[in-house]
Structure 1
């Protein structure tokens, strides 16, 4: 979440929607003999977008279609990726396969079983429905192998949470609505939830949520935590903590810079600068130091009050999360921009 939209932003389409469109177009060629110029699909909530074909190839008993993903105005790392589907006859039913650039599930806790291609349930259902629709239209048996590839997907996946979630070798085919909503908080929070699911399924007893890359590196080094124990909390402390309250892990560390941890200490659960602010008057009262009321940033407040402020913030943040989310042992790590630990609480 790097900027606040000032005007209405253009929506895009998920990898799952693109794969569904590619499946439909490939089946038109396989069973109908001619590739369409473009293809229209129906999304789960009834919208009917059309997709132009970026690739169209066929041979004896197979057809392949590529759709270029358009993520709209969202800064999605898969924007512009080519989602390629090859269809052919199966021995029975719809069979999904991971081609080049699509990952395989290697850890429990995800909605897809270990050993399966990383194609999520809703896209699977959308493609299965398209197979049934096209089979009825062309008088064919709905027994199809759907192999999905994303050229360059293995490299793109390194920029995602997939390696941490136990998805090896490439991207996931995602989407619950088929629509990419620009700068969607829901998408980030859903990824945090999947990280918690994977950690719990692996039996981890200690996870950590951090506000950024520096605090994550520091916290992981302090506790020697594995990668899949590190939850990409970012600004969404509430999104992480509310899910942990229903799906608990015994111990949770929260790490971050003094500005964001100060907001947490003052009760904020969304730590983004556009949605919560440090109460400097509150800091002045907490530290009994009137000078803090005139500070412009939490860092400036720290420069005025020194280490006691960082410790007070850590203690207050610990009190906030402990009071609101009982049954979990929390600890707090506050760092500066260089990654030096300023204070810890709950250890």
Structure 2
């Protein structure tokens, strides 16, 4: 059986393929013959979406059912392409309702081991299994991603405290690839709408990705000035903002992403460029760190580990380096704008860590945060937490 079709269409996010396999398994468990496709209800959408299945079957003498779908994220660069999704559904003898479990290859939150699943993904599963509960009773749903653990090593999941596999995240059914031109056009459209509104004061917050957007909203930045999510197309959106009349732009993002701007890399998708530790090491040279420290930073596996190591050895030096990074983001951004003839827009950079705490900012970023009534989260000395290097 094929994993895609003209009916389902390519370009569906991982939660949709998980929900399709879950519904198919539940149908088989309830006595239906193995379906080749299922019709899904999507939150906030009218009608149904047909999604094809790879296989479905009863297991353990009819006590469980397994269904398999194969992820098709559509055109563009996406590591979930061709990913098999196995969902095992069984009757719950002691609990009513729906209970979702992380199987092999599915991401868990490092702090408590809980399944890492977005609100949209959970709602999608509940919406498409709730009508079967009166027939089969309580359901235990285990999601397995056979290659999830391997693929997670190629993501920044661990930077946000997600371990053991891929997170079941997503906020909609259709893929919006952060590296695709379509995503850039949507962001530009949003920018034009905001800057064209009556009373626009020339101030804007540009956030990088869903984590940045969520954090900005929690901090109340959306109440102070408009928000635009950039994805990986940061450079073109900086230029578009300046050309649209923005005079003060606050750039908010994860430090492991924004450091690329400090190295002059303004399209930040990992398929196109990385060089994060190399940029960090160059900044460390400028800050006068010892050769031994620079070598140690280059041996770390991530920006978080680099921060942890340097914080453990010299907190003052660590803070100085990361604040210098934020200042370099501001300087490189303004140089990028001048290259395209854009002057008159101030850029402030604010960086957050894996716990989504505001930690570092450049001089402009500090002023802009102060104007918005937001403060940086203080960093306490904790030498026992830094990872050791050998």
- Superposed, 1:251-330 pairs within 5 Å as 253=323, 255=325, 262=331, 264-265=333-334, 278-279=339-340, 318-326=362-370
Q: CA deviation at 1:181?
A: 1.9
1:127 and 2:125 aligned: yes
Q: What's the secondary structure of 2:166's corresponding residue? A: coil
CA contact (8 A) 1:216 1:255 kept: no
In structure 2, the residue matched to 1:12 is 11
- The match for 2:55 is 55
- Cα displacement string for residues 139-173 of structure 1 (whole angstroms, at most 9, x for unaligned residues): 332x1111001111111001111111111111011
Matches of 1:254 and 1:95, distance apart in 2 = 47
RMSD, matched Cα: 4.0
**Pairing partner for 1:189 from 191, 195, 209:** 209
CA–CA distance in structure 1, aligned partners of residues 20 and 167 of structure 2: 16
Instruction: Provide the rounded CA distance (Å) in 2 between the counterparts of 1:277 and 1:25.
Output: 55
Structure 1 CA distance, aligned partners of 2:156 and 2:52?
29
- Between 1 and 2, higher relative CO (CA 8 Å, sep ≥ 6) is seen in 1
CA-to-aligned-CA distance 1:24-64 (integer Å, 9 cap, x gap): 11111110331112111011131532121113232221111
Number of matched residues?
Answer: 245
> Is 1:173 matched up with 2:168?
yes
Contact 1:263 1:277 in 2 (8 A): no
Aligned to 1:100: 104
Secondary structure of the residue that 2:65 maps to in structure 1? Answer: strand
SS in 2 for 1:72: coil
Report the equivalent of 1:80.
82
Which ranges in structure 1 are unaligned for 5 or more consecutive residues? Answer: 1-9, 108-113, 198-205, 232-248, 284-316, 331-347
Once the two structures are TM-superposed, the CA of residue 320 in structure 1 deviates from its matched residue by: 3.4
The equivalent residue for 1:240 is none
Distance 2:75 2:275 in 1: 28
Preserved contact between residue 36 and residue 55 of structure 2 (Cα < 8 Å): no
For residues 170 and 195 of structure 1, the distance between their equivalents in structure 2, rounded to whole angstroms, comes to 23
What's 1:164 paired with?
Answer: 159
Specify the SS of the correspondent of 2:167.
Answer: coil
8 Å contact kept, 1:39–1:50: yes
Where in structure 2 are there 5+ consecutive unaligned residues?
1-8, 188-206, 218-253, 266-273, 290-296, 308-318, 345-360, 378-390
* Equivalent position SS for 2:69: strand
Residue 225 of structure 2 aligns with which residue? none
1:74, CA displacement in angstroms?
Answer: 3.0
The question of whether the paired residues in 1 share the 8 Å contact of 2:15 and 2:173 is answered with: yes
CA distance in 2, matches of 1:124, 1:75: 25
Q: Secondary structure at the match of 2:141?
A: strand
After superposition, the C-alpha distances for 1:122-146 in whole angstroms (9 at most, x for unaligned) are: 211221222211234xx332x1111
- Which residue of 2 is the match for residue 296 of structure 1? none
After superposition, the Cα gap between the structure-2 partners of 1:255 and 1:124, relative to the gap in structure 1 and judged at 3 Å, is same
Maintained 8 Å contact 2:86/2:145: yes
* Deviations 1:211-254 (CA, angstroms, capped at 9, x unpaired): 263244543794979744889xxxxxxxxxxxxxxxxx9x9636
Secondary structure at the aligned position of 2:41 is classed as: coil
TM-score by length of 1: 0.59
TM-score, normalised with respect to structure 2? 0.53
